Amino acid sequence: MEGGLYVGNGRMGLMSTRRQEALDYHEQGRPGKIAVVPTKPVSTQRDLSLAYTPGVAEACRAIVANPEDVFRYTAKGNLVAVVSNGTAVLGLGNLGPLGGKPVMEGKGVLFKRFADIDVFDIEVNSTDDDEIIKFCQLLEPTVGGINLEDIAAPHCFNIEEQLKELLDIPVFHDDQHGTAIISGAALLNALEVGGKKADEVRVVFSGAGAAAIATAEHYVRLGVRRENILMVDRKGVITKERLGEVDKYKARFAQETGRRTLADALEGADVFVGLSAGGIVSGAMVAKMAPNPIIFALANPDPEITPEEILAVRQDAMIATGRTDYPNQVNNVLGFPFIFRGALDVRARAINEEMKMAATHALADLAKQDVPEAVAAAYGKETFRFGKDYLIPKPFDSRVLLWVAPAVAKAAMDSGVARKPVDLEEYRNTLEARLGRRREVMRDIINKAKSSPRKIVFPEGENERILRAAAQIVDEGIAAPLLLGHPERITACAAGLGVDLTGIELLANEEYDRRVEVYAQQLFQKRQRKGLTLAEARSRMRLPIYFGCMMVEGGDADGLVGGESTNYPETIRPALEVIGTAPDSQHVAGLYMMVLQNDIMFFADTTVNIEPDAETLAEIALMSASFVTRLGIRPAIAMLSFSNFGSTRHPEAQKVQQAVEIVKARAPDLTVEGEMQVDVAVLPDLLAQQFPFSRLKERANVLIFPDLNSANIAYKLLWRLGGAEAIGPILLGMDKPIHVLQRGASAADITNLAALAVVDAQRRAPRHST
């Protein structure tokens, strides 16, 4: 039977299906998983002359004059070689260089997907250490780092040790150090959850290959005492009596002990780390371990013992495996992409122990943070919370890049191996940009918010997403959130979510009641001649949305973000009654920031005015321009229609024409044009060719749609089918910063809108009264 590991027709059928899926995945389309893609245009004769001869000669001369310029003019600084001879491929053994190639390509995919690092996978047809070492020496000018992969022990130790001495670029054997770094993070957190100390626990390793030895050494650096580690290979416990038969790497863990078997070693042990073979640990062995045992059964595809078998005898166990279908997956993808990212970005000469330790601590610390909903959704969960079932982050948590790479970069600088020091705050911003244009845009906005945080009130303070967002807002220093709701319920909800309320303001019931009367009197004075009675004002002030709006109106808060659990109009209406529109506005409108791969566009009105007339369209355009300008972006506005500059005589087209003229009259210096079709608005060459008289010469970045139907449809099409990311809706035209969430908004969406509310408040009002 293929694989020889499973029995049962159902299991065999499942294996057969998965095997075919895997083969189809690798074969369909272009064979394999990676390709070389140009980063510069090569579409004209001029491009070709710059990419190659004669233009390329200038880059060559510059590098000869100053070798460090190789990082300016070539891809070396973002290029890693994955080097293997295929002698220890996964758990499959010696498959040779060809058999190992799919794994090396896969490694390249992970480098690119998780850290935006380019890879050449290089399979070497040699089992001679000296030949592989010499090959890597010759390769050094080409790449910024070398990831050794799937080279059998003990050869891998010798090869890595010599290359670290010989080369001036980072060399990292992931099979050794990846498991060590990531399981080390899980160990630190498991010790914390279990109330144990590193220097007191007794650890048993099953397996004595590259990963086991490197992991044991890493645990020693984390505080585990070497004499408290027992390592078990195929012949049993490695004891002093066996020193004559084991290599020097295993000999480091030879102990003076009467224990001989794995079962002997596990009796009373606090920690088990399996890097060996499936099914070799029994429930009876686990039952004899110490209280709150930590069991890392990391063999793949079958662990040394399954979580189900462990929990059948030890409910107090903390468990990790190498598999995706169990909690706490020790997956090397949490390590190598981000470690190399940090090393490359400071041009480190090596990946040293300080950098590995920094990665371990960064992963351990990140696991204690609140987990974004998007991460939980990717794994089909409602939430993850630090504890025995969540000891390390998940691979698809994009924050790993932002935690691990800066920690590694800092350790490289602190330990003296960095050749290009970086400002860590600026570095984090560049990493955000690698995660996508939306992250880059929002990081700029968040940094503006952090420069002068304001108090933002959230009417739906008992909502779980609001609570998560509030904690993130405090953690990032974006704003001072104030949550409305019953303090007891908010506190209980936060405790259930594991959310820290430090820095989040709650109003005591007595203070809320006192302000209700004050605000009711103020609202009554404001609207008594519009049919509002004092009793009705008191009743409305019991509604958090009215109360929050009055806080903003009265200067007790700088802005409001609400609407997560209400319909859009139900949030706008109270805001209009309490605060009203700005002095120069008669209407409000909704705007979305549409973040494309290399650009940002603004769409309005996407949420409020169903069939705006010319005057309203003009006002929407002016409000949009004002907002875009506040973000530090020069607006270029296109007023959209199905007609181009009078090509169709129709009332709808004429309405847009009139709106354009109103905007030009009120803001003569504003770049605005129309009426025009959308392709003309976004294709400057087409615009210049057909309508050279247009005031708009560049691609429009603000699109004003003729009605709500077209705007709402357009932004959702671009969002859902066009690959754009939508930030908003941003409410325009209010006299104070009031921003309305879409129902079901994620914690990340709420955080982003809060940052926009702070920036909005910074530009138009002083801080709230204290």
The set of catalytic residues is 52, 107
One-letter-per-residue 3-state SS of 404-456 = HHHHHHHHHHHCCCCCCCCCHHHHHHHHHHHCCHHHHHHHHHHHHHHHCCEEE
Query: At a CB cut-off of 8 Å and minimum separation 6, what does 760 contact?
Result: 559, 627, 630, 737, 739
Neighbours of 319 (CB within 10 A): 27
Q: In degrees to the nearest 10, what's the CA dihedral of 380, 385, 387, 389?
A: 0
Question: Which residue in 319, 313, 260 sits closest to 286, CA to CA?
Answer: 313
Nearest to 273 by CA among 262, 284, 264, 283: 262
Query: Which residue, chain included where needed, has tokens 């598999």?
Result: 323
**DSSP structural state of residue 275:** -
How many CB atoms are located within 10 Å of the residue 491 CB?
A: 13
Indicate the pairing of strand 118-123 with strand 79-84. Answer: parallel
Alpha carbon distance 49, 47 (integer Å): 5
3 state SS of 481: strand
- Collapsed DSSP state (helix, strand, coil) of residue 718: helix
Strand partners, 148: 83, 173
In degrees, rounded to 5, the angle at the alpha carbon of residue 199 between the alpha carbons of residues 198 and 205 is 70
Give the burial string for 123-144 (b: 16+ CB within 10 Å, else e).
Answer: bbeebebeebbebbeebbebbb
Q: Going by DSSP bridges, is the β-strand pair 559-562/738-740 parallel, antiparallel, or unpaired?
A: parallel
- 201 contacts 228 by C-beta, under 8 angstroms: yes
Quick one: three-class SS letters along 171-201?
A: EEEHHHHHHHHHHHHHHHHHHHHHCCCCCCC
Starting from the edge strand earliest in sequence, which strands make up the sheet with 318-321, in order?
Answer: 236-237, 229-233, 203-206, 271-274, 294-297, 318-321
Question: What is the Cα–Cα distance from 369 to 362, expressed in whole angstroms?
Answer: 11
